[in-house]
Structure 1
Amino acid sequence: IAHIIQLNTNVTTKIRIKKDMLVLLKQEIEDLHLEQEEHNDQIIKLYDEKNKQLGPPGPTAQLDPSDQQQMKDKN
């Protein structure tokens, strides 16, 4: 009985550790999404500046198709 109780305690400890790891991973993913959004905002700002330098402003800044695909792939 004592051996089985010890095994059960070990499993319970492993479950708690795995749950804690999940919480940390979820937070890390959220942080990475925020960082990605900041980078996307920077890209849009840089394209706005580039378009202003190239000629008359259009209705909105347009990304090159390859850059649009890269942003979609990252999201």
Structure 2
Amino acid sequence: MFFFGIVFRLALRFVGIIFWPVILSFRRKSYSEHDTEGVSQSNVVLMSQVNCLLFDCGQHIVVLDAQMTALKEKFRRLESS
């Protein structure tokens, strides 16, 4: 479970950091050809909100991993005593 959390967290960060700016750059180019600046700005805001949401999900996974690790330690101590 811990390994899955690490892989999932890294995948979210990879998507948030690498792919969203690439998608935004392609969208900006396609919208700038049609001269619709307002649509482009709303997509930038939407994509930044999605990026923040992905980052928040990654942060929650970090917290859950830490809590699971703490619980595993408590169970190990209980079993050993």
| Class of the TM-score when normalised by the shorter of the 2 chains | 0.5 to 0.7
Report the Cα distance in structure 2 between the residues aligned to 1:19 and 1:48, rounded to whole angstroms. 44
| 1:1-75 equivalences in 2 (<5 Å) | 1=35, 4-49=36-81
Q: TM-score, normalised by structure 2?
A: 0.55
More helix by share: 2
Identical counterparts, % of pairs: 11
- Give the residue type in structure 1 aligned to 2:51: K
How many residue pairs get aligned? The number is 47
SS at match of 2:73: helix
Which position in structure 2 is the counterpart of 1:73? none
- Please report the RMSD computed on the Cα atoms of aligned residues, expressed in angstroms: 0.8
Report the Cα distance in structure 2 between the residues aligned to 1:32 and 1:43, rounded to whole angstroms. 16
* Higher radius of gyration, 1 or 2: 1
Instruction: With a CA cutoff of 8 Å and minimum separation of 6, indicate the structure with the bigger relative contact order.
Output: 2
Give 4+ residue runs of structure 1 displaced > 4 Å after superposition.
Answer: none
Report the Cα distance in structure 2 between the residues aligned to 1:16 and 1:10, rounded to whole angstroms. 10
